[in-house]
Each structure stands twice: as C-alpha cells, then as structure tokens.
Structure 1
Amino acid sequence: MASDINSAKNEEADLTLTWSGRWTLAHRILAVNVLTLVLVLLAIFYLDSYRNRLEKERVQKVASEATMAATALEAIPPAAQERLLANLSKENESRIRLYGADGQLIMDSWRQTGPTYRLRDPATQRWNKDVARALDRGFNALVGEEPDEDFVEPATDKADAWSEVIASRKSGITETEIRLAPEQTPVFSAAAPVTGGATLLVTDNDRAFTRTVRKQRRSLLIALAVVAALSVLLSLFLARTIVRPLRRIALAAHRVRLGRAREVNVPRLPSRTDEIGLLARSISDMSQSLRQRIDNIEAFAADVTHELKNPLASLRSAVDGLERIEDPALRKQLIDVIRQDIVRLDRLISDVSEAARTDAELARARFELVDLGALIGQLVSSWKERRETGNVRIAFARPRRASAIVMGEPGRLARAIDNIIDNAISFSPPGGLVEVAATHVDDEIRIRIDDEGPGVPPELREAIFNRFHSVRPETESFGRHSGLGLAIARAIVEGHDGEIDVTDRDDAPSGARFTIILKAADRA
C-alpha cells in the first residue's frame, strides 16, 4: 500500500487555493499591508487637501470682505461710514475695525452691533470637544502642519498690535492672517488700506470651518473603519492561506519526529505554486525519504543479524566439536573452519562498517575535481603489483590526459571502482581478461568494466546490487566476499548523482559489463 506521506491526492479542501494560488507569500503579505497603508494615506492626503482648500476659500472671503468694505468707505460720507461697517459686520458675523493714520482705533462695528461672534472657553465645554481638539492636533502633527499662533485681543487696541495691519500699511495691499481661538477654532483676519493712510481690519471666528472639517474627518474615520474591517478579512485570508497549512505541516512534522512516519498524512498541496506548496511537498518528500531510510535501516539490521548468525553458528559447531573429537586430522579440519569463519566475520564486519558509513560520509564530503584516468590507472597498477588476481589479467584503456574529469570525493570513487574490478576478477576464469575503459561522451564520463565470466542473468541484474546478495563462483575461497561490495559501489555512485548498471557483453561470447555513468565536470 502506498504511503499517505507521499500521496499527491491527500490535499484537504480547506487548504486549496483558487484565484490566489499563484501568488507568492511575499506578494500576498505585501498586498495586504500596502493596500491598508495606501488607503490610510489617501484618506490623510484627501482630508489635508480638503482642509487647505477650504481654508484658502475662507481667507479669500475675509480678504474680499475687507477690500469691499474699504472701497465702500471711500465712496460714502463720513457720517454714514460707521453705520455701513455695522451692517457689514452683522451680515457677515464678523468684526470690522478702522485705524487712523496715527494707528488709533477710529471705528469698531461692535460698538453698534454688539459681539457677532464669541470666543469660547475650552474649560466650559464637554469632553467630546477635548477629544475633537486632540484629534485636530494629532492630524496636524501627522501632516506636518505648523500650529497657528493663538488669537488674543490686544490690551490696547491699536494698529501696531496687529501684524497684518502693519504688513498692509507697508505693502499697500490687503494682507491676511490666521490665528486660533482658545477652543482651537480659526480666526481669519484681513487688513486693507483706506485712502488717507487709514487701515481697515476684519476678523471672523469661523466656527463653521471647524465643524465642516471635523464632519469630513468623521466620514473618513468611518471609511477607515471599513478599511480596518477589510484588513481583518484580508488577515483572515492570509491566515487561511498561510497559517493554517503551516500549522498542519508543523503537526505532521512533529508526528514524524515522534517516530510515527507510517501514520502521518503530510498535505502536498499540489495546486499551490507558492512557497507553502513547495514547503509542503518538500516536507512530504522528506518524510517519505525518512520512512524509506527507516525501512532500509531495519532491513539492514535484519540482514546483518542473519549474515552474522551463519559464521557464528559454524564457529559454535566447530568449537563444540573440538571438545569431543580426539582425532588430530578432524581437529585440524575444525580449526581450519574456525579460522575461515574468523576471516569471514572480519571481512563482514569491515564491509558492514563501510556500508554504514558510506551515506553519512558522502553527505559531509567536499567534492573536488577528480581525473578518473589517473585514479583508475593507480587502481589497476595496485591490483597488478600487490593483490591476488590469480592469473587473471587486467587491461586499462587509459583515456587522454584530463579528458575524464568529474566532481567527486576521490577516496569513495576509488572504492566504488575497486569493488567492481574485484567482482570482475572473482568471476573471471583462469587466464581471463578484465578490461577497464573510461571515455568522455557528450557531458558524461562512462567507465566500463568487462569480464569474461558467465555474466549476470537478467532477473538478477538489479538484485546483485542489494546488500548481502551474493552469488559467488564455486572456485572462490570461503569468506572472501560479504555481499556488500556492489551495494557499496552503487551507494557511492548514486551519492555522486551517477548511475551504475550491468549488461551482457556485446563483443564477446560471455561476460558481464558493468557501466558507471558520472556527470563530467564543467571546467569553463
């Protein structure tokens, strides 16, 4: 039964994405944050622009009122001037003052009409006004608006107490100013020159301006509340598309850590092409690999136990027989059996240790450029000079210098090739020839090792690379091979991202041909 860990059909419906499946996590997170930020900034910019435009209109209105009042004063007799100012003040809810050329106050509309606006004391207002003023100050700080100066009626009401009046006398045109009343509503003022050196001053505490701006701000706050709700919904969307699958994957990884790999169902999320999908498939593949590794370890342990029991049983039988047999010839045979079993155990333990270390050492190895021509030449020379080959000959077709270069770990590659040569020698008949060649074909290096033995039946060509699978020639001395040589060779070759296989020779009546294929090193 296939493991659920590596199943492509185990994606849960609530983890599936539709239209956003091709968005990366960075794009989704950025989109949510940018959308919320952009909407807030747009609201701030809109409100600031709206307030500035409204403020400009109010300033122009007061300036127009001052200019028209100054023009009207020049067109009517002095006796009617004070009455005109009173009417204009009452109509526009403003205060109009006229200062003579000497700076003294000549006329004041409030003497006729009474106050047309009243500056309120913040201490007498309700708490919601304090909140509104705090929001006003916060908004001004947010947009970098410099605070206006406070509006204070001068103790002695003269022309030089007003900066706009002084500026108007110097420039000869209408000058404006904006100040803040104690309750933070604006007081707009404008000073216009009058014939004869006099100056007319109009002041207006426009509370409607503040009400309009605050009303607009309330509307924007409602809009921002909608944006906040939208942000929450988008956050829930992110939680669904990011947090939930990550939690499922983390739970699956935790169960794998507890040693329940066969029970774990890791979502693979095949429809997702973002980082979460890549992570899910990587975790699933890792879990599958771990399960296979555990199975291999268990099988390896069982095989080692089985292989050790055979020589140990033989040893036990021989030792027990020594106590009962007196015949020197039989005792010598038993001692020979014990010696052979010891050799076999020593060889088996060495190969088991080598097989157990191969994967771990390859994972830590630092690959380097390896000239396979020189490496194989050294191995062949070693076999010819220091090893037992019987009368089997070895021929090596050495490639052109530096034409068979790969990236790898020299010691491990030497062990893999040496194991294949050892196998070819053991199966070769007396006087046989083992041929070794290395060639560069396209972007691959192909190592070919041919022998003149009986060959490998097709049904066994995969099995011979399994650990402890050993079909030895009848003439081989007992205990010379453990059945791990070819398995170690395959593990090393695959650890170098290569391939190894065996076929029949096509250039001889019989014999096996082992081929190792490795990727040629890029030396550009």
Structure 2
Amino acid sequence: MSDEPQLALRWSSRVSLTSRILAVNIFALALLAGGFSYLDSFRSRIVDSRVAQASREVRLVAQSLASATDERRDLLVLSLARDTGSRIRLYDEEGRLLSDSRDLGLRNMVLRDPDKDPWGQDVARFLDAVIDRVAGAERAPTYREHEAGLDWPDVRTALTTHGTPATVWRAPDRTPVITAAAPITGLGVVMTTVNARDITTTVRAERYRLGVVLGIVSLVSVLLSLFLARTIVRPLRRLARAAVRVRLGRAREVVVPRLPSRRDEIGSLARAISDMTQALRARIDATEAFAADLAHELKNPLASLRSAVDGLGNVKDPELQAQLVAIIHDDVQRLDRLITDISDASRLDAQLSRATFEPLRLCEVIQALVDQRTKRGLPHGVRILVDQRSGGGPVTILGEGTRLERVFDNLIENAISFSPQNGLITISIGIEGDCAVVRVEDEGPGVPEEAREAIFRRFHTVRPSREAFGQHSGLGLAIARTIVEGHQGSIHVESREDRLGGARFVVRLPIAGE
C-alpha cells in the first residue's frame, strides 16, 4: 500500500487535535475579519462621493459669486460657507486673498489638535492606522495651511488642466480634509475646504460593530472549539492511557472506560477497546491456567516414568522388569499423546482463524465417520444409529471438514466408551430455526448436572473403570468446544428425556445460506 496519504498528513500529525480544531475555527474567523477590507472600500466610496459633492458645490459657489456685486460678495461668502459647512476663500487672478469665511467670523472648519484629544481618540486613531496598514489602504498626504499665494501656481495649473480640481488630504487627527476650487470669470478662483469628520465617524462606527460581532463570534468559536476538543481529545487520552497500561502488562488492573452514554464513533471505539481488553484478559487468564494445568498433567507421567526407570535398575526378576518396561512404554505413549493433543489445542485458534470454510453435508460427514468406526469394530456389542430429521432435505453448513470430523469422532468415541453392553448410540441430525442440530445420545451413566460444564475444561477427564488409566488426555471435549465455537456454534450436554440414564451431547451449527 502506498504511503502517500500518510506523507500528505505528516505535517499535521505533529500537532495536537486541540490545536488543529482551534486553528480551523480561527481560520474561519480570519475570513470574517476580512470584512475590515470591505470597510476600506466602503470608506473610499464615501470619500469619492464627497469629493464629487465638493466639486459640484464649488462650481455652484463660483456661479453665485460671479453674479454678486462687490458690496454683497462678503455676505454671500459667509452665507454660502454657513450653508455648505465649508470654509470658502476667494482669490483674484494673481493669487491674492480677497475674502475668507474664517476672517468674516465663521469658524466652521477647525482642525483638531490630536495632542489635546482624550485617550479614547488616541486608541481609535491607532486602530485606524493598524487596520489601514493591514487592509493596504492608500495614505493621503498631510494637510497644511498655506499662506495666500504660496500654492497659487499649482492651483492655476490644475484649474487649467482639470477644470474643477478636488483633493483629499489627511488632517493631524487622521480625518479627511477635502479641498475643491473653481474659476470665476473675470474675478479669480474660489476654494472650499471641509474637514469631513463624519466619514471617519461612520467608518469607525461600522468597524466597531464589526469588531464587536467578530469578538463575540471569536469568543463563542473558541469556547465551542475547546468544548469540541474536550469531548474528542479527553476520552481519547483516557483510552490511550488505558491502552498503555494494558501494554505494560497491567491488564487486570485496568478498567477501560466504555463511555456508554456516547453513541458516536468515540463511544464505539471505547467499547471496542474495552471488549478487546476483556478478551485479552480472558486470553491471558486462559493461557496461565493452561500452563498450570499443563505442568500438572506432565508431572504425573514423568513421575511414573522416573519411578519405573529407577526401579528397573534395581529389579532382577524378569517378570518385574517386563512390567516396568510396560509401564515405561505406557508412560511414553501417554506423554506422546498428551503432547500431541496439547500441540493441537494450542494451535487450534490460529488455525481456525485462517481456515477456509466450505459447504458440508452433515449427514454425509457423520455417516462416513460411523461407517469407518463400524468397520474397525465396535466393542461390547454397541450399535450406532444415524437418524436424519431435516424434513427430507440435506443439512448443509459452512465449515472445515477435518475439524468437524474430529468433533463428531470424539463424541462418538465418548459415547462408545460409556455405553453398556449391547448399548445403542443414536445420532440425530435436524434443523431448528437457522441452525443445524446434531444430538449424540448414549445409554451410559450420564453426566451429573454439576459436572456438565467442567467436562469441557482442559485436562478434565472421567473415564469408565473398564478403561486403562492414561488412555485419554482430557483435551478432547475442550478441543471440540473450541472447534464448534470457531464455527459460530455451540455444544453442551444434557440428560436424555426418554430414559433414566444416558447423556445427550447437542451441537448447534449455523446452516449455510443461499
């Protein structure tokens, strides 16, 4: 499998989930903060509109002054300055100041001294400068009051080129100053100047509203991000700590949180890890118990073998020597059988997990086993009857034939060993619901109710008195249960309902689908 997807996320794998969640949400807020750039274009449109307005007003003022007499000119300048809210100055063709609304007593255009403003205005101007720099707004030149006639050549050139020039300046308090000029035929030039503080006030108000919204949204987003990170990261950290403790060999001390109240993927992950830990704990306990039982079971034949070997060197009687040799031979066979069964039992789970299941007809499998056992001969006059009760159709399951044959062969051998003289063993095959059911019944002494679960434990064996000791390892039924459960089935033992004595082993296996 290619490592490209993992390599593509390598940069983010070094960052915690909390940081990544916060980064994604803050990035979305940064897009919202881009609204400040929109406010800059909004201000530019207002300024352009005011510049156009100033150009129209100065032309109207020029037309009014052109029709006024010299005696009424100052009164008209004062009236027009009061109506337009601007400072009006009138120059002759040589650039000499003829009339000024400020000199006439109307001080409606006064620039503020930023050093005398309260601290709140300083903060506002600082924020304006920061936002303008971030938004890349153009910075207007600083406005300066000129003496009469000082900039007249520039004004005259502009009038000749553009007709009615209007210019935007920046006052010391960062508010815009708009100047406009228009020629008056036969008189000179009229110039208007206005400090448009209302533009800055409007833009600051909009920025304040957007800033408040951005601040509230940022706070809510950060809180929600932290909450989301906590609901995701905190349980993951708990699960990671529990997994580390399990890895360190403390599985019995670890309680993996199952998070039953969570119905999301993290809850599913927590329950999966909890189930996996419990299965691991059960597997560890089973391994420890198996090792203990194995040591105990190996000691018995080894002790008998050691005693026989020690006695063989001291005994001179040929008959006793022959008996000791027979004991040694039986113990070696017993050890060989025990080790073989232990080897099969230890590899069974892994082999079943890799096994390929194929359709099997239970009746044919069991009938073949019965025929082979009958050919080898049945002791004590025992008889075996196979009864298929599946409604006439074949009972088909999915499984591994060799393993299932071992299960039923073990059940048949158990039934033969416990059957009385001329006993009858009945094997019935049927279907109940979506399961195939196989019942192996004998006429022996049966299994006590308190021992019906114990007989499926490893190395647990209770054999008839007529059989020689050590002929069975006690692993047959344990292996049979492992095989059946590996096929998603079940096996148990119960008493027969039609007789006082006898045992009935019941095997349930899921039938094969269409």
Give TM-score, length-normalised by structure 1: 0.69
Other-structure match for 1:312? 302
- Between the aligned partners of 1:422 and 1:501, the Cα distance in structure 2 is 16
Pairing of 1:308-387 with structure 2 (within 5 A): 308-362=298-352, 364-373=353-362, 376-377=365-366, 379-380=368-369, 383-384=372-373
- Between the aligned partners of 1:268 and 1:497, the Cα distance in structure 2 is 25
Pairing of 1:10-159 with structure 2 (within 5 A): 45=35, 60=49, 63-64=52-53, 66-67=55-56, 70=59, 78-79=67-68, 88=80, 92=84, 112-113=99-100, 132-138=128-134, 140=135, 157-158=157-158
| CA spacing shift, 1:205–1:318, aligned 2, 3 Å | same
Q: Number of paired residues?
A: 463
State which of 491, 505, 508 in structure 2 corresponds to 1:517: 508
Deviations 1:482-521 (A, max 9, x none): 1111111112222333221111223455422211112333
SS at match of 1:434: strand
1:261 CA displacement: 2.6
Other-structure match for 1:471? 462
- Between the aligned partners of 1:178 and 1:235, the Cα distance in structure 2 is 49
Q: Does 1:283 align with 2:273?
A: yes
Q: Could you tell me which amino acid in structure 2 is paired with residue 303 of structure 1?
A: D
Other-structure match for 1:170? none
Q: Does 1:257 align with 2:247?
A: yes
Deviations 1:349-403 (A, max 9, x none): 11111111122333x3255343242662475167337756445444434568985
Q: Is the 8 A contact 1:343 1:479 kept in 2?
A: no
Q: Could you tell me which amino acid in structure 1 is paired with residue 412 of structure 2?
A: I
Q: Could you tell me which amino acid in structure 1 is paired with residue 131 of structure 2?
A: L
1:438 CA displacement: 3.1
Q: Is the 8 A contact 1:438 1:445 kept in 2?
A: yes
Q: Is the 8 A contact 1:249 1:267 kept in 2?
A: yes
State which of 413, 437, 445 in structure 2 corresponds to 1:454: 445
| CA spacing shift, 1:280–1:106, aligned 2, 3 Å | farther
Percent identical across equivalent pairs? 44
Deviations 1:450-490 (A, max 9, x none): 22322212121111111111011223344332111111111
User: Which of 258-267 and 326-335 deviates more?
Assistant: 258-267
Structure 2: gaps (5+ residues) = 1-17, 103-108, 114-121, 143-150, 185-189
SS at match of 2:467: coil
Q: Is the 8 A contact 2:369 2:405 kept in 1?
A: no
1:156 CA displacement: 6.9
Q: Does 1:420 align with 2:411?
A: yes
User: Which of 485-494 and 386-395 deviates more?
Assistant: 386-395
Q: Could you tell me which amino acid in structure 2 is paired with residue 418 of structure 1?
A: D
SS at match of 2:157: coil
- Between the aligned partners of 1:324 and 1:62, the Cα distance in structure 2 is 129
Bigger Rg, structure 1 or 2 = 2
| CA spacing shift, 1:77–1:231, aligned 2, 3 Å | closer
Deviations 1:308-361 (A, max 9, x none): 111111111222222122222222222222111111111111111111112233
| CA spacing shift, 1:58–1:385, aligned 2, 3 Å | same
| CA spacing shift, 1:93–1:468, aligned 2, 3 Å | same
Other-structure match for 1:302? 292
| CA spacing shift, 1:246–1:290, aligned 2, 3 Å | same
Q: Is the 8 A contact 2:362 2:395 kept in 1?
A: yes
- Between the aligned partners of 2:132 and 2:164, the Cα distance in structure 1 is 29
Q: Could you tell me which amino acid in structure 2 is paired with residue 494 of structure 1?
A: E
Q: Is the 8 A contact 2:427 2:439 kept in 1?
A: yes
SS at match of 1:261: coil
- Between the aligned partners of 1:349 and 1:516, the Cα distance in structure 2 is 27
- Between the aligned partners of 2:84 and 2:355, the Cα distance in structure 1 is 89
Other-structure match for 1:16? none
User: Which of 505-514 and 304-313 deviates more?
Assistant: 505-514
1:303 CA displacement: 1.0
Q: Is the 8 A contact 1:383 1:389 kept in 2?
A: no
Q: Is the 8 A contact 1:455 1:512 kept in 2?
A: yes
Q: Could you tell me which amino acid in structure 1 is paired with residue 253 of structure 2?
A: E
| CA spacing shift, 1:408–1:130, aligned 2, 3 Å | farther
Q: Could you tell me which amino acid in structure 1 is paired with residue 157 of structure 2?
A: D
Q: Is the 8 A contact 1:454 1:510 kept in 2?
A: yes
- Between the aligned partners of 1:406 and 1:214, the Cα distance in structure 2 is 80
- Between the aligned partners of 1:433 and 1:161, the Cα distance in structure 2 is 127
Which protein, 1 or 2, shows the higher relative CO under an 8 Å CA cutoff with sep ≥ 6?
1
1:242 CA displacement: 3.7
Other-structure match for 1:497? 488
- Between the aligned partners of 2:99 and 2:503, the Cα distance in structure 1 is 125
- Between the aligned partners of 2:316 and 2:337, the Cα distance in structure 1 is 31
Structure 1: gaps (5+ residues) = 1-27, 99-104, 121-125, 142-146, 167-176, 195-199
Q: Is the 8 A contact 2:436 2:509 kept in 1?
A: yes
User: Which of 278-287 and 377-386 deviates more?
Assistant: 377-386
Aligned Cα RMSD in Å? 5.0
Other-structure match for 2:7? none
Q: Is the 8 A contact 1:499 1:517 kept in 2?
A: yes
Q: Is the 8 A contact 1:89 1:109 kept in 2?
A: no
SS at match of 2:341: helix
Q: Does 1:243 align with 2:233?
A: yes
SS at match of 1:440: strand
Q: Could you tell me which amino acid in structure 2 is paired with residue 350 of structure 1?
A: T
- Between the aligned partners of 2:401 and 2:93, the Cα distance in structure 1 is 109
Q: Is the 8 A contact 1:85 1:109 kept in 2?
A: no
